[in-house]
Structure 1
Amino acid sequence: MSFRPAPFRHTLLALTIAFAGHAGLAHAEVYQLPSGPLAATLNQIASQAGVTLSIDPALTEGKRSAPVSGDYEAVEALNQALRGTGLQLQGGNGGAYSLAPAAEAAMALPDVTVTASEQAAETAWGPTRGYLANRTATGTKTDTPLLETPRSISVATREQMQDRKVQNLDDAVRYMPGVIASSYGSDSRADWMKIRGFEPIQMLDGLPLPKGSYAMPKLETWNLERVAVLRGPASAVYGQTPPGGLVDAVSRRPQAESSHEVQVQVGNYNHKQISFDSTGKIDDEGRFLYRFSGTGRDSGTVIEHMDDQRFNLAPSLTWNIADDSKLTLLGQFNRDDTGGTSQFLPLQGTKLSTPAGKVDYHKNLGDPDWEFYDKTFYALGYAFEHRINDTWQFNQNLRYSKLELDNQIITAGNWVGAVDDDGTLQRGANIYDQNIRHFAVDNNFQANFNTAEVEHTLLLGIDYQRVNTDYRWQYGAAPASNIKNPIYGQDFSNVSYRAYQNYNQKNRNVGLYLQDQMSLDAWRLTLGGRWDRVDSDAVFYNADNYKDSRRDSQFSGNASLSYVFESGFVPYISYAESFQAEQGGILSDYDADFNAHKGEVFEPSTGKQYELGVKYQPVGSDILLSAAVYDLTRQNIVTTSTGGATEPVREVQVRGLELEATGNITDNLKLTAAYTYTNSKMTKVADPRDKNRALPLTPEHQASIWADYDWSVGPLAGFSIGFGTRFIGSSDNVGVGNLAWTEKEYGHSSAYTVYDAAVRYDLGQLDASLRGASVSLNANNLFDKEYLATCDGFYCYAGDPRRVTASLDYKW
């Protein structure tokens, strides 16, 4: 029997308010822009710096910019790009600029004072303007224009997350192509998503996060500056990653300009939450900068008698050691006390009819007196950068994190016949305990140099990971209940448990990588390779303490070629590989009582992908259009059946098409839209009945669009509205090898469409004394559509019902 740790006290919000009350303690940007089409480079600098620049295409046609490398204010950066072009900036009215031939400049540039907010050029790790991120380090580890990155990457910016009031990573990525968010419906425990058919790894500030079977950090999105999704393999840069892709989150980091924010929320299901964020200088010189963010939540959930409580703190400190050296300390603490809102619902009463009637998706079919999900996550690390000279720069990212989970949850039957005609429900009792200790460090040298006419951004690195996982899953028959009238407070002391999983596994991974991003005129060629060695040692306590170990080494490569047209049109082709060590292993040598006596660590899975795509950002615009087709293959993927057995699938193939449009169409209208077509099939399997079956949770079609409009003038000045719709197509989700004892239609999930909406008002429009304050009302699944997110042939999982949140924000 497991004993539940002491739950949160209901003073959680008061504690968060106290932290918020103490959070008010108290530039030129670094540019690394290679030579490129002049108009595109100038527009990029102007857009990022908030400078108005008018360009006559006749003046820039056929001209290329000079490289811009170093610390510059906005106007200085523009002048650097104009070196050798015969053009210069010309001042105009209202602080706007235009171009003129150097010998014919109509007037000298006026004296200007560029404030911090005006001169802050975008970097891959910093704030963005609106919905479009112009730069990213996802997939390359270097600060690269998103337009010129030859991979499928989507970015949810801080403003996009704020407009939609996202509560988790699933919320942040659900409008991106190729992504299935909340794949098991509403779940307060973790973020469950699929990218191109596979579960991604999650990364924070360039380093992987610990991940177990049910233990996941569930990042607090309030603390994030942006969330990027890379679709496709990335092992040539990051090492162990699945072929579908990864989620790369970037923390909100200390800023020199003082900024403070408090947000208070209330919503349905007794949702109450307060969040705060404060950043600025500690000393007058700005050598030390701080940031302190946090969130406290005390809420009910969509399931009766189940709470969702969170206490989160994210302190960070930047030390500007010298002009060429900077160290940023990054901390994270999460404490969650919640339950499994993604209930394991029986097929009868959801997918199948029963005389007892339909299951109410809001009813708790477990036992709140016995169930709990208590998780603690903390992490401490740093990002260090040092510019050695004009060519070389050294970077080091390091983090130690720990994840501790205690979980007891009831599953409501997993076979047809688990519900009697009178509604009596047979159930399972599950006890999960998982502790993960994770250390990761990444060191790399970056060099920017030329060889003849070719410009290089060379990356040479070595990284190391150490993961120690203790995992135990015990299962037994729980006391029966009823789907119409659940019975709580039952006696679980006589439940007989069997350990389906009980092991300790240690993984150590060292990787050496080399990448060269080359530029010749408008051509871009990237070549990369990485060698990894993985050592795995495991003790299977549920197999007579059998020990197994293995050593694997793997080379992963990538290559891409693209051409940057002056019009902003960039076609590309890429190839990438992946590999990933799988947790746990195969149990074997069973005796007559079905007790295992041997365990074997899984062989790592591998993947490869070919992708052909095009990106287009019209010159002078702030919107990015992209399209990609791909062919992806994965081998030795491991699946886990509902009965607890794990087994590898020999080969799976996924092909698809993805379309996306994201950005700021005008100063008032922001948009993100996506369409996905996915064709997946199991091509090499042990059981011939599984041949050519689609991957679970991988619909063939999906589409989404979100638009946000705000009025800056007129009688509606201060008002903003947002509206979105999400379509998820049907899918077949029966697990591998299960056709012998279930029917395919039991795992069929029907298509569904839901709508989201938001309305905001800037209270500063009412009175100048309220400047910085705003109110908003957000609704997800606006029309409260009832649907099943998925059925897997054993259980069904209800989709998110309507969630309504009212927020009061104050910034100063």
Structure 2
Amino acid sequence: MHHWYRFLQVTGAFALVLVTQEVSALGVAEPPPEDVVETPAAIIAQAVTVITDVAIAQTGNQVELRLSATTPLDNATVTQGAQGTEIIIPNATVIQPEVLQEFAPESGLEQIEIRNQTDNNVQILIRSGDRQIQTQLTSTATGLTLNIEPAIVAAETDGGAIEAFELVVTDTEQPYNPASATTATGLDTALRDIPQSIQVIPQAVLRDRNVTELGEALETNGSIVSRGGRGTSVFGPGFLIRGFPSGSSIFRDGIGAVSLSALDTSDIERVEILKGPASVLFGQGAPGGVINLVSKEPLAEPFIGIEASVGSFANYRGNVDLSDALTEDGSARYRLNFSYGNFGSFRDLVDGERVVLSPRLSFDLSEKTSLDLYGQYAYTRETIDEGIPFTAAGPVDVPRRRFVGEDFGEFSEQRFDVGYDLGHKVNDHLSLRHRLQFLQYRPRRYAPLYTGFDETTGDVGRLAYFAGGHYQRFFTNIEAIATFETGSVKHQVLGGIEYRNTLEQPEFQFSNDYTPINVFNPVYTGIPYAIAPEFFRDDTIKTVGVYIQDQIEFSPQFKALAGLRYDFVEQLRSTQDLGGPRNEFFQSDGALSPRLGVVYQPIEPLSLYASYSQSFEPSFGASRNGDGSTFEPERGRQWEVGVKADFSDRLSFTAAAFDIRKQNISVQDPNNPLLSIQTGEQTSRGLEFNLNGELATGWNVTAAYTLMDAFVSEDTDPAVEGQRLPNVPQNQFSLWTTYDIPQGSLEGLGFGLGFFYVGDRPGTLDNAFMVPSYFRTDAAIYYRRDNWRAQLNFENLFNTEYFTAADEFQFATPGAPFAVTAKFALDF
């Protein structure tokens, strides 16, 4: 292992030397070598003109559109099409965000739309209904002037008012229909070229739903449900992806986002979910998939965003988002996100707060080298709440606000990370990337936890629990990206080596009982107990992964993705009781994880795909069989087929069928109850459907439906084999849709409506009780104007009583009743 570590130290030192050279070169501009010939793509990229402003004016029956740019806008072409008059400005881009302004020209024009195209062109689309128009283009020293004159002037209305039209400046990527993602391949890849199901929750959906935590964001994505464990689990608030625990499969910008607290979304641009095994790029993990949070990047233009919200149950929150260039040429930029939330609850005695600070700096050290420096500090404190008891007949008959913990029971965590991303373009066909991150967090769980429920008396047994300690992780990798051709076949190859070193030093207290409490007549003691840890661990886990991936294009219609990874994991763990001897355990595992997928596109907007992928997850290194032997890693494998269709550049649809098997699960040896054998298997198979985008002008939608059968397929216990997996519904549906009034006196007013259905699901592996299904309705109303936005969000509009997840102690977490949140946002 130490050889790999030294290798990565050398690569890190090399990267730092490279940065030093680039920084020292900033003050001295060397002429390019004479034998360097720029490619046409590079020349075009350098020639892109930035349109900095769009203005419109009316003179008589003419409309004048003025585009201000950094250089003259030449070579524009005009064509007549079915949608109207189209003007294409080559080698240009509009930097204005989506702008909507109302005008009343005598021309009678209906709409002018200006947007960026993917090939570095700007499109101006003039819609005039059945009226004919004339256009005249004049290139100026500072841009372009477009004069529009109707051949037939629209008649006035009876009241003499002129029909209004609007100028809309938009980007080709629709807010509800992202076209690409980085999580599936490690590179920005079109979704339709990925032979695996991947979904993106964009910023627009997070904003419109007023999402503040990852769990809320995932509600619009199919095949993901809550697993519970908030404040108590060693993995933090958990999720099930295609029936399997997310565990360590939550990432931030491609690096594991280890935290026992709920993850805040104030500094997140979007969330990407890759379904199915993903060990080729992400290493060890569960077979259900990975969740990757993508951070907000620094901007070259000044930006100040301020948000304030207040809601039911004494919830209030404030966010500040700052970004700007640090140099005149924009080669150095920063972004700073700060968030504070103080949240109450519909549950008695439950409250909490959270602080998040996320600074980020970006430097273009040269035309070929970039460096990002980032960090994050997060503090969370909240009451530990394990929910309401369940029986075979359902939840006990108590109000959903009923709390059977103690007010002093609390989860808290301080977490921070720092790191950098370094990129260098060697030439047009080869690039290098290097990342490094240090993470540290200190969780503290102190509360009387539930041990059981007496259905006869209503008493809840409790123990005096404490868990604390220190955790840290060092991560680094180096990657190379190469593009080349073998004959007519195009390749984009990603190869890399990764090293992780994790230190865990937890301490626990769990032997003493605490006063029981009656769920029907709770009497809170309010008496904290002494903290006296009695069990300690001291663990070091080292991981090295080597991987290679090839995105292959045999033709525009036929593409493939192939990848292979080898991971080597060493675990040195120790356990020690208070006053007892230290017990040490060593375990090493190696695993090879392949991935193969093909995509066939008979026409450009339609993709048919099939894929096979594997995952692995080492067993806990301190666990031993009855004979002292170690356990092999659990393995996962998936077959998936699907179709991806772009109905237009604004609306897309995905359908997928999958079969996942999780194998090497430890089960009791039927011939020796003291031993375990790894013959257990769990299966999840199903169908997924997703629809995302714009149905009509101003009408956006994201919808998902999942039909899934997740069950124990092999076990030595006949009572368990065939049982459904806990917390996994067979049917799940979500729909969130918004409509923005595009013009007229109510322009800027918008409405949102959401439906969320989760079918019934078992509460435990032995299916001792069922958590009932629920159908929840959310809504929103908002008003956008210029640089401000006012918004009202309504959760659980019809006050449905429901439960989100259950645990192994026959307790389940109730969902929130009807609640309202008001938010005001201002951007500069």
What TM-score bracket applies, with the shorter chain setting the length? 0.7 to 0.9
Q: Match for 1:347 among 367, 371, 390? A: 390
Partner of residue 307, structure 1:
351
Counterpart contact for 1:582–1:638, Cα < 8 Å: no
Partner of residue 512, structure 1:
546
How far 1:691 sits from its partner (Å)? 1.0
Counterpart contact for 1:698–1:731, Cα < 8 Å: yes
Partner of residue 609, structure 2:
572
Partner of residue 634, structure 1:
662
Stretch deviating more after TM superposition (439-448 or 468-477)? 468-477
Partner of residue 413, structure 2:
375
Deviation by residue 1:620-641 (Cα, 9 ceiling, x = unmatched): 421110000011111234799x
Partner of residue 411, structure 1:
449
Give the distance between the partners of 2:441 and 2:78, measured in 1 at CA.
49
Stretch deviating more after TM superposition (360-369 or 801-810)? 360-369
Give the distance between the partners of 1:351 and 1:630, measured in 2 at CA.
32
Q: Does 1:275 align with 2:319?
A: yes
Q: Does 1:291 align with 2:306?
A: no
Q: Match for 1:199 among 235, 245, 248? A: 245
Q: Does 1:364 align with 2:403?
A: yes
SS at match of 1:653: strand
Q: Does 1:805 align with 2:821?
A: yes
Give the distance between the partners of 1:53 and 1:233, measured in 2 at CA.
49
Partner of residue 658, structure 1:
688
Partner of residue 609, structure 1:
638
The TM-score with structure 2 as length reference comes to 0.76
SS at match of 1:290: strand
Structure 1 residues 95 and 648, CA, compared in 2 at 3 Å: closer, same or farther? farther
Q: Does 1:488 align with 2:524?
A: yes
Counterpart contact for 1:556–1:577, Cα < 8 Å: yes
Structure 1 residues 173 and 494, CA, compared in 2 at 3 Å: closer, same or farther? closer
1:674 corresponds to which letter in structure 2? Answer: A
Counterpart contact for 1:345–1:411, Cα < 8 Å: no
SS at match of 1:160: helix
Q: How does 1:591-740 map to 2 (within 5 A)?
A: 602-618=631-647, 620-637=648-665, 650-735=680-765
Deviation by residue 1:233-265 (Cα, 9 ceiling, x = unmatched): 011122112100010011101011221110001
Stretch deviating more after TM superposition (316-325 or 129-138)? 129-138
Counterpart contact for 2:177–2:693, Cα < 8 Å: yes
Give the distance between the partners of 2:373 and 2:667, measured in 1 at CA.
38
Give the distance between the partners of 2:501 and 2:299, measured in 1 at CA.
32
Structure 1 residues 484 and 408, CA, compared in 2 at 3 Å: closer, same or farther? same
Structure 1 residues 540 and 587, CA, compared in 2 at 3 Å: closer, same or farther? farther
Q: Match for 1:776 among 791, 795, 798? A: 791
Deviation by residue 1:566-592 (Cα, 9 ceiling, x = unmatched): 340100010111012244543677xxx
Two-structure CA RMSD over aligned residues (Å) = 3.7
Partner of residue 751, structure 1:
773
Structure 1 residues 129 and 289, CA, compared in 2 at 3 Å: closer, same or farther? farther
Structure 1 residues 568 and 415, CA, compared in 2 at 3 Å: closer, same or farther? same
Q: Does 1:384 align with 2:432?
A: no
By relative contact order (CA 8 Å, sep 6+), the higher-ranking structure is 1
Bigger share in strand = 2
Counterpart contact for 1:347–1:416, Cα < 8 Å: no
Partner of residue 150, structure 2:
none
Counterpart contact for 2:654–2:691, Cα < 8 Å: yes
Give the distance between the partners of 2:298 and 2:466, measured in 1 at CA.
41
Counterpart contact for 2:177–2:692, Cα < 8 Å: yes
Identical residues among aligned pairs (%): 24
Give the distance between the partners of 1:385 and 1:245, measured in 2 at CA.
27
Partner of residue 140, structure 1:
185
2:224 corresponds to which letter in structure 1? Answer: V
Counterpart contact for 2:285–2:617, Cα < 8 Å: yes
SS at match of 1:696: coil
Q: From the CA coordinates, give the structure whose radius of gyration is larger.
A: 2
Partner of residue 168, structure 1:
213
Structure 1 residues 491 and 160, CA, compared in 2 at 3 Å: closer, same or farther? closer
2:297 corresponds to which letter in structure 1? Answer: R
How far 1:90 sits from its partner (Å)? 11
Counterpart contact for 1:351–1:796, Cα < 8 Å: no
Structure 1 residues 524 and 350, CA, compared in 2 at 3 Å: closer, same or farther? same
Stretch deviating more after TM superposition (779-788 or 219-228)? 779-788
Counterpart contact for 1:184–1:799, Cα < 8 Å: no
Counterpart contact for 1:548–1:601, Cα < 8 Å: no
How far 1:712 sits from its partner (Å)? 2.2
How far 1:805 sits from its partner (Å)? 1.0
Structure 1 residues 247 and 600, CA, compared in 2 at 3 Å: closer, same or farther? farther
Q: Does 1:150 align with 2:195?
A: yes
The TM-score with structure 1 as length reference comes to 0.78
Counterpart contact for 1:223–1:314, Cα < 8 Å: yes
Stretch deviating more after TM superposition (358-367 or 266-275)? 358-367
Deviation by residue 1:664-697 (Cα, 9 ceiling, x = unmatched): 2233011011110111221222423211211111
Q: Does 1:396 align with 2:434?
A: yes
Give the distance between the partners of 2:392 and 2:770, measured in 1 at CA.
15
Which runs of no fewer than 5 residues in structure 1 stay unpaired?
1-30, 35-50, 58-67, 83-88, 97-105, 123-127, 590-597, 765-770
How far 1:565 sits from its partner (Å)? 3.3
Counterpart contact for 1:548–1:599, Cα < 8 Å: no
Give the distance between the partners of 2:532 and 2:391, measured in 1 at CA.
25
Give the distance between the partners of 1:779 and 1:186, measured in 2 at CA.
26
How far 1:121 sits from its partner (Å)? 7.9
How far 1:363 sits from its partner (Å)? 2.5
How far 1:359 sits from its partner (Å)? 2.5
Partner of residue 65, structure 1:
none
Partner of residue 546, structure 1:
583
Structure 1 residues 326 and 800, CA, compared in 2 at 3 Å: closer, same or farther? same
1:507 corresponds to which letter in structure 2? Answer: I
Deviation by residue 1:161-188 (Cα, 9 ceiling, x = unmatched): 0000112111111111111136569999
Structure 1 residues 144 and 484, CA, compared in 2 at 3 Å: closer, same or farther? same
SS at match of 2:623: strand
Deviation by residue 1:153-208 (Cα, 9 ceiling, x = unmatched): 11111111000011211111111111113656999994321101112211001111
Give the distance between the partners of 1:79 and 1:141, measured in 2 at CA.
24
Structure 1 residues 299 and 491, CA, compared in 2 at 3 Å: closer, same or farther? closer
Give the distance between the partners of 1:584 and 1:723, measured in 2 at CA.
48
SS at match of 1:431: strand
1:392 corresponds to which letter in structure 2? Answer: L
Which runs of no fewer than 5 residues in structure 2 stay unpaired?
1-38, 43-75, 83-89, 96-114, 129-134, 145-167, 669-674
2:493 corresponds to which letter in structure 1? Answer: L
Q: How does 1:45-194 map to 2 (within 5 A)?
A: 73=93, 113=143, 129-181=174-226, 183=228, 190-194=236-240
Give the distance between the partners of 1:241 and 1:110, measured in 2 at CA.
57
2:793 corresponds to which letter in structure 1? Answer: N
Give the distance between the partners of 1:55 and 1:453, measured in 2 at CA.
36
Give the distance between the partners of 2:630 and 2:79, measured in 1 at CA.
62
Partner of residue 43, structure 1:
none
Q: How does 1:248-267 map to 2 (within 5 A)?
A: 248-267=292-311
Give the distance between the partners of 2:213 and 2:560, measured in 1 at CA.
36
Partner of residue 47, structure 2:
none
Partner of residue 4, structure 1:
none
Structure 1 residues 690 and 348, CA, compared in 2 at 3 Å: closer, same or farther? closer
